[in-house]
């Protein structure tokens, strides 16, 4: 699924449900949102340039989140010509091979500490917490206007030595720290 197709599904939630992508029966809206967040994380990898070329792309998960089960379905697939891996991290020492780090809203009290771990490393930091960008994170997944959207802090992206592609910047709800 392309990034643009994903956004179309987000704009038309009924179409999303009709396609049978809402997750396991009985889980409901929470599962649908977690599945969308997982898809966003994978798609972000396609629109960011890293300074080093790794044979794999690794999404690292910190803390308790609801998206890990949905990310496992992507594991092993090719994303931007590289194999996707997913793993959990619990300390700064575990970030060495991470290209993307997801810190869930439930870990809001630790945003600052985790962002210090990733400071100046080539890691795209992402959260679904509203205060994440203010704390210095790169991307915040935000529920707004009845759909899941994202905001980008280009200062944080640049500080990590990364480059966000213009298609991703155009699709962002809000870009801070620089221009689209």
16-55 per-position pLDDT tens digit: 332 333 333 334 455 489 999 999 999 999 999 988 778 8
pLDDT score, position 98:
95
Residue ranges in the chain modelled with pLDDT below 50? 5-28, 31, 179-180
pLDDT score, position 27:
42
Token pair belonging to 28: 């409901």
pLDDT score, position 55:
87
- End-to-end alpha carbon distance in the chain: 24
pLDDT score, position 49:
93
User: 3-176 architecture in CATH?
Assistant: 3-Layer(aba) Sandwich (3.40)
Q: Cβ contacts of residue 29 below 8 Å, gap of 6+?
A: none
Give the number of other CB atoms < 10 A from CB of residue 31.
18
């Amino acid at each position: 699924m392309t990034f643009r197709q994903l956004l179309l599904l987000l704009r038309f939630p009924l179409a999303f449900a009709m396609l049978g992508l809402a997750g396991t029966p009985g889980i409901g809206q929470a599962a649908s949102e977690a599945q969308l967040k997982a898809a966003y994380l994978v798609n972000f990898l396609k629109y960011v340039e890293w300074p080093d070329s790794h044979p794999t792309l690794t999404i690292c998960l910190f803390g308790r989140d609801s998206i890990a089960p949905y990310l496992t379905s992507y594991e092993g697939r090719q994303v931007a010509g590289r194999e996707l891996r997913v793993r959990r991290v619990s300390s700064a020492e575990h970030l060495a091979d991470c290209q993307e780090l997801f810190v869930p809203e439930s870990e809001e009290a630790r945003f600052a500490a985790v962002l210090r771990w990733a400071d100046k490393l080539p890691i795209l930091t992402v959260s679904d917490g509203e205060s994440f960008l203010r704390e210095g994170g790169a991307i915040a997944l935000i529920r707004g206007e009845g759909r899941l959207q994202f905001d980008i802090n280009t200062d944080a992206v640049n500080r990590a030595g990364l480059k966000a592609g213009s298609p991703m910047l155009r699709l962002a709800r809000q870009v801070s720290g620089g221009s689209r």
